Amino acid sequence: MKYFITDIHGEYNGLELLLKHAEIDFPKDQLVFGGDYINRGKQSGKVIRRVKELTQAYPNNVVALIGNHEEMMRDYYRSGDKLWQNHGGRETNIDFEKTFTNEEVRKEHIDWACNLPLVYEDDEFVYTHAGLNPFEPLEKQSREILWMSEFDFYNIPKEPLQTVTMHKPIIHGHTPVERISFDGIRLNADLGSNTYVIEEERGLGLVNLTEMTYLVYQQSQKKIEKREIARF
């Protein structure tokens, strides 16, 4: 089975519940994380620690990509860019200090999160945080793709995207949606964890790409529900 989860935004309890519920068989199954582990939610440190742990325990089966929130953290540490501080970075930093009391361990986790890859490709799918530039080869995508709005990404005609991915569907997140759907080339799995203003609307999805179903953790009720991916 192939699984995908994205835009966790500090929702550690939901992540754990979903992983348990899905009964992922780690040495066999594949799990790709689409980025945005941190900010907004209260447990960014624990999420980072868990994802890093999984990628290191199963280096052939678990892949973690960078999101624009880790990119903001990267810019903050590289050049002092203040954007991160205004997007939850201040609180995330405090949480990192609580989670990783050892400074070296903390640094190691921050470095890890800031240096994750932009794109991953397997035999069936291409994975990215927000979008792809159809005019750049997959291995040479510019960092701007981390910020691509859903409007811009879904305005790209299917053909150039199919050309750049060799007809592999693009699995991504970044812009919250109420339901996960597949338009034949794009699948957005961000259900607005710690992001939607209305708490009842916030969800965290774990997609089973092999079955084209997903589990959604509804944050307000702390409940998990299974759904089919809509196709159009």
Chain residues binding Mn ion by CB under 5 A are 7, 36
State how far the Cα of 195 lies from the Cα of 172, in Å rounded to an integer. 16
Question: What is the smallest separation between the CB atom of 68 and Mn ion, expressed in angstroms?
Answer: 7
Nearer to Mn ion, 149 or 163 (CB): 149
Question: What is the smallest separation between the CB atom of 45 and Mn ion, expressed in angstroms?
Answer: 17
3-class SS letters over 150-202: HHHHHCCCHHHHHHHHCCCCEEECCCCCCCCEECCCEEECCCECCCCCCHHHC
Question: What is the smallest separation between the CB atom of 174 and Mn ion, expressed in angstroms?
Answer: 5
Around Cβ 224, how many Cβ atoms within 10 Å?
A: 18
Question: What is the smallest separation between the CB atom of 191 and Mn ion, expressed in angstroms?
Answer: 11
Which residues on neighbouring strands pair with residue 34, listed in sequence order? none
Closest residue by Cα to residue 132 from 178, 106, 163, 90: 163
Nearest residue to Mn ion on Cβ basis: 36
DSSP string, 116-130: --SEEE-SS-EEESS
Nearer to Mn ion, 164 or 191 (CB): 191
Question: What is the smallest separation between the CB atom of 39 and Mn ion, expressed in angstroms?
Answer: 8
Residue 229 is given by DSSP the state P
Nearer to Mn ion, 8 or 54 (CB): 8
Nearer to Mn ion, 7 or 61 (CB): 7
Question: How are strands ordered across the β-sheet holding 186-188?
Answer: 119-121, 126-128, 170-172, 186-188, 181-182, 230-231
Nearer to Mn ion, 10 or 61 (CB): 10
Question: What is the smallest separation between the CB atom of 208 and Mn ion, expressed in angstroms?
Answer: 21
Nearer to Mn ion, 45 or 61 (CB): 45
* Single-letter amino acid code for the residue at 185: I
Around Cβ 141, how many Cβ atoms within 10 Å?
A: 19
Question: What is the smallest separation between the CB atom of 162 and Mn ion, expressed in angstroms?
Answer: 26
Nearer to Mn ion, 36 or 71 (CB): 36
113 CA to centre of own chain: 12
